[in-house]
Amino acid sequence: MTFAFRSIGFWLPRRAEMTPARVALETGDARITYAELDARAARCANALAAAGVGPGDRVAAYLEAGREYVEVFFACARLGAILVPLSTRLAAAELQFMLDDSGASVLVYDAARADVVKSFRPQVALHAVLAVGEADDPSYEAALAAAAPVRAPEDCASDDVLAIFYTSGTTGRPKGAMLTHGNFFWTNLNMALALDLTGDERSLVVLPLFHVGGWNVNTLAVWWRGGTVVLEPAFDAARALDLIATRRITSMMGVPTVYQMLADQPGFGAADLSSLRVCVCGGAPLAVPLIRRYQERGLHFVQGYGLTEAAPNCLIVPSEDAERKAGAAGRPYFFADVRVAGFDGEPVAAGETGEILVRGPSVMKGYWRRPDETAETLRGGWLHTGDVGRIDDEGYVFVVDRVKDMFISGGENVYPAEVEKVLGEHPDVADAAVIGVSDERWGEVGLAIVVARAGARPSEEDLRAFCAARLAKFKVPARAVFAQTLPRNPTGKILKPELRALYGGS
């Protein structure tokens, strides 16, 4: 007897059959059961189908984390459509590019962002637009109210694409990582096994849902087990401490900045954290003093390493090794292969450095409409992360450098090439380079090293304002310094190591 793969579109209906009265989602004051969430997701699927959405069509979501985002996700999964999450932190030009590149036919957005949508709307070919809240566009709620109440999930294959998550490109343009139903299945199976999730899990989710980690660290795995997700539209440290106590949170996920902000709250030492069983951290290694601060409160970290292209989980540091292996990226999850390899793709010896490669069922299908970059990144059957690492004699991988010069600011990936491209468009800039420098609050921030055009005298404030109008806030350099020239090698490539040595880059 064989059992066919069941797509993510079947998860919510099946869970609603098994535990209809359990609370699946808490957001604000709302408590939504599995049966209620499934019913609205079915109506959402029918509303999208009425707008012409079918298998393989792209639906863009420009929403804050909330009930509607979850409904759109499961509606796309049920239809066999492809969700395109759009970051609420991006500038209009960046959003327009992603809509054009993905070929999205429908956009669902928050009415609070109506002005941004209006600014790029004339340049984007959309068949339908739905607004959550009061806006000039058709109402999302009205569309659901008019839709049929029942829709069976499509039979999607494991390698059918479920979502396209855009990741900033080293060439200055974002690339859409195609994550399949199978990618979502296997990475959530990894998480459920690693975190030992249970049916009475109450997980606090403060990560944005336009990041794959917002779905595939705690969220979907908790729903798989029949637990409750407490979903916040944004992170607020004081409110998070209150929610942990009042909602009896058992697990949560954040980047180091999140946990540092929690620890910096005046009430952290006295807060009721007795229900919290596990703190999951990713994005960057935790500092030992912060680990110990949480240990003093009886709390332990599970740390991990991942990237969008791996949906995202690759390596994990279990709680018992959090301090002993401080700084480590971790060891592979159950259903993942990771190696540190030389230029020939073969594993290097313990202690030697090489590129971190990943293989397994959670690795993306490829980059949307970019076959050459897909072939390069997935060459030899391995995902080439672009990170340089070393592996110790216990199998723990440590990240020691970044091939792509990327740095992480507050948990957000920043690619200097993208910022440098914008700086190069400033009329007073002749040359520019961006590096990541250490920052006490955000881990790293951008530093722009700028060569002005002859006779021009741009100010730091002017350059930052120019970037802010074209880039997400976290990508805007925190500081700018001016130089006569930038160091380059004979082929013209900027020598970033020299800039880091000169300006204190991380």
**Residue written as tokens 């790293």?**
444
Whether residue 398 is contained in a domain is answered as: no
Whether residue 297 is contained in a domain is answered as: no
Whether residue 421 is contained in a domain is answered as: yes
176, β-bridge pairs: 166
Q: How many other C-beta atoms lie within 10 A of the C-beta of residue 441?
A: 11
Residue range(s) defining the domain that contains residue 207: 8-183+192-232
Q: What is the pLDDT of residue 490?
A: 53
Choose the final residue of a domain: 232, 257, 292.
Answer: 232
Choose the final residue of a domain: 232, 261, 289.
Answer: 232
Q: What is the pLDDT of residue 465?
A: 96
CATH of the domain at 40: 3.40.50.12780
Task: Please list, in sequence order, all residues whose beta carbon lies within 8 angstroms of the beta carbon of residue 330, skipping any fewer than 6 positions away.
Answer: 303, 304, 305, 314, 315, 316, 317, 396, 397
Task: Please list, in sequence order, all residues whose beta carbon lies within 8 angstroms of the beta carbon of residue 459, skipping any fewer than 6 positions away.
Answer: none
203, β-bridge pairs: 229, 251
Q: What is the pLDDT of residue 421?
A: 86
Counting the structural domains of the chain, the total is 2
Q: What is the pLDDT of residue 106?
A: 98
CATH of the domain at 460: 3.30.300.30
Q: How many other C-beta atoms lie within 10 A of the C-beta of residue 18?
A: 11
Q: What is the pLDDT of residue 492?
A: 63
With a cut of 50, list the residues of the chain below it in pLDDT: 1, 170
pTM across the whole model: 0.88
Q: What is the pLDDT of residue 493?
A: 72
Whether residue 415 is contained in a domain is answered as: yes
Q: What is the pLDDT of residue 344?
A: 87
